Amino acid sequence: MRWDNLVENPATAGETALFGTSAVTTRTFDTPEFRGITFHEVRARSILNRVPGASRMPFEWTVNPYRGCSHACVYCFARKTHSYLDLDTGLGFDSQIVVKINAPDLLRRQLASRQWHGAHVAMGTNVDCYQRAEGRYRLMPGIISALRDRANPFSILTKGTLILRDLDLLVQAAAVTDVGISVSVGFIDETLWRTVEPGTPAPERRLDVVRTLTDHGIGCGVLMAPVIPFLGDRPDQLRATVKAIAASGATSVTPLVLHLRPGAREWFMAWVAEHHPHLVRRYERLYAEGAYAPKWYQRRITRHVHELAAEFGIGPADRGMPRRIRTPEAAVEEAVAPTQLTLL
Ligand code: SF4
């Protein structure tokens, strides 16, 4: 493994080694929850990560306490980042998890630096910071506390219901700074969920998170991602999903069609070949031009979801949002060539 290459972005690979080989401790836990997962504990040298090409993104800085994600979404395009460590981008991405155990202390120190001017910090933009590992390592309470104590604005995008463990901290932070929470729910089809997002909480449980956050005065949007062509894009599926999102009290819904960047593409297509072999040719045709579905397809889905959102009374983003709360997802749509967002 190339631990000296553990950098946040491929654009900076080789420039900023975050820690050396000697800093890695490898552990496994023999509990059902963590069986088959290997954790690589590291002490990071830096935790605030500047996003390359930030002008296209709704944020400039990110904090990512983990690498790899046991939520194991087949389509996850953060898979590619595991290859920079010489780790496998398929099962290895799901089961070899890098944990930056000093993330809270380091963040507190970096936020206190004179060079730091309180920019918005986005989390959950690479892998899910509320994946299962967080239940054991509990890095997010320290991270949120550090941001709260500096009144530093931040946002979190997640599929993890574990975020509710930190509800009190989020409420405290939202009282002193801008906090945006988005939950990712691309569909509510249970069969599709079990096969394509096998390590995640059920979509309905994620919508419970939206409901709870909203009940506590924290406006929460839904990133409806990914909308999966041929499997999750039927009108009745879109309708059921948007209806459920509306019922959760989400402040906004932002659709994002599946994209298949290198690393994710191979893994996803192998999954299609195994579970839906009759769709292989159709996917090859739809993604013939590269990582993205054609514009006409993306526009069709976006228009349809927006019509449903209007029908069910959601959005537009920001309407009715509580003061001091903002969501990052409206801008995500513009950044539809995201190099940082993983369709969480
Ligand atoms: S899409 Fe998000 S939740 Fe799913 S594996 Fe990737 S980082 Fe984890």
The Å distance, Cα 268 to ligand 1 centre, comes to 13
Q: How far is CA 43 from CA 70, 94, 104, 169, in A?
A: 21, 21, 11, 24
* Ligand 1 midpoint to CA 119 (Å): 25
Give the chain's domain count.
1
For residue 89, pLDDT over 50 is answered with yes
Is 173 contained in some domain? yes
Report yes or no on 343 lying in a domain: no
Task: Report yes or no on 13 lying in a domain.
Answer: yes
Q: Please tell me the distance between residue 72's alpha carbon and the centre of ligand 1 in angstroms.
A: 6
Position 176, amino acid: V
Nearest CA to ligand 1 atom 6: 76
Q: What DSSP state is assigned to residue 187?
A: -
- Residue 147's nearest CA partner among 182, 172, 114 is 172
Residue from 8, 128, 224 to probe ligand 1 pocket by mutation (most atoms less than 8 Å from CB): 128
Kindly give the residue spans of alpha helices, DSSP state H, lying in the chain. 79-82, 91-95, 103-111, 133-137, 140-149, 167-176, 190-196, 203-215, 235-247, 264-275, 280-286, 295-312, 329-334
pTM of the complete model: 0.88
Which of 98, 126, 159, 227 to probe ligand 1 with, by most ligand atoms within 8 A of CB?
A: 159
Taking the centre of ligand 1 as the mean of its atom positions, its distance from the CA of residue 269, in whole angstroms, is 17
- The residues, any chain, with a CB within 8 Å of residue 340's CB and separated by 6 or more, are 9, 51, 57, 62, 125, 126
Q: Is the pLDDT score of 331 beyond 50?
A: no
- Please report the pLDDT score of residue 342 as a whole number: 52
Residue 301 sits in which domain range? Answer: 3-334
In this structure, the residue with its CA closest to atom 7 of ligand 1 is 127
Distance 69 CA to ligand 1 centre (A): 6
Q: How far is CA 102 from CA 108, 142, 251, 265, in A?
A: 10, 10, 34, 33
The residue whose CA has the least distance to atom 2 of ligand 1 is 344
What value does the mean pLDDT take over residues 236-252?
A: 97
Residue 202 in this model has a pLDDT that exceeds 60: yes
206 Cα to the center of ligand 1, angstroms: 14
Atom of ligand 1 nearest to the CA of 93: 5
Q: Which residues line ligand 1 (CB under 6 A)?
A: 69, 71-73, 76, 78, 127-128, 131, 159, 200, 342-344
Give the pLDDT band of residue 2 (cuts 50, 70, 90). low
pLDDT at 4 over 90: no
For residue 111, with 0-12 CB atoms within 10 Å meaning exposed, 13-18 middle and 19 or more buried, which class applies? middle
b vs e for 54-73, b when ≥16 Cβ sit within 10 Å of the residue's Cβ?
Answer: eeebbbebbbbbbbbbbbbb
CATH code assigned at 143: 3.20.20.70
How crowded is the C-beta side of 17, counted as CA atoms within 13 Å? Answer: 10
Residue predicted with more confidence, 36 or 52 = 36
Residue 228 CA to residue 249 CA, distance in Å, equals 24
Q: What confidence tier does 317 reach under pLDDT thresholds 50, 70, 90?
A: very low
Confidence of residue 101 (pLDDT cuts 50, 70, 90): very high
Neighbours of 98 (CB within 10 A): 27
Domain assignment present for 181: yes
Backbone angles phi, psi at 202, to 5 degrees: -60, 150
In a domain, 237, yes or no: yes
Q: Considering the domain boundaries, does residue 339 fall inside one?
A: no
pLDDT band at 344, cuts 50/70/90?
low
CA distance 93 to 71: 10
Q: Which of 76, 89, 129, 161 to mutate to test the pocket of ligand 1 (most atoms within 8 A of CB)?
A: 76
Q: Does 340 fall in a domain?
A: no
Residue 342 lies inside a defined structural domain of this protein: no
Is residue 115 very low, low, confident or very high in pLDDT (cuts 50, 70, 90)?
A: very high
Query: If you write DSSP's letter for every residue of 55-105 in order, what string do you get?
Result: GGSS-SEEE--EES-TT--TT-TTHHHHGGGT--SSHHHHHEEEEETTHHH
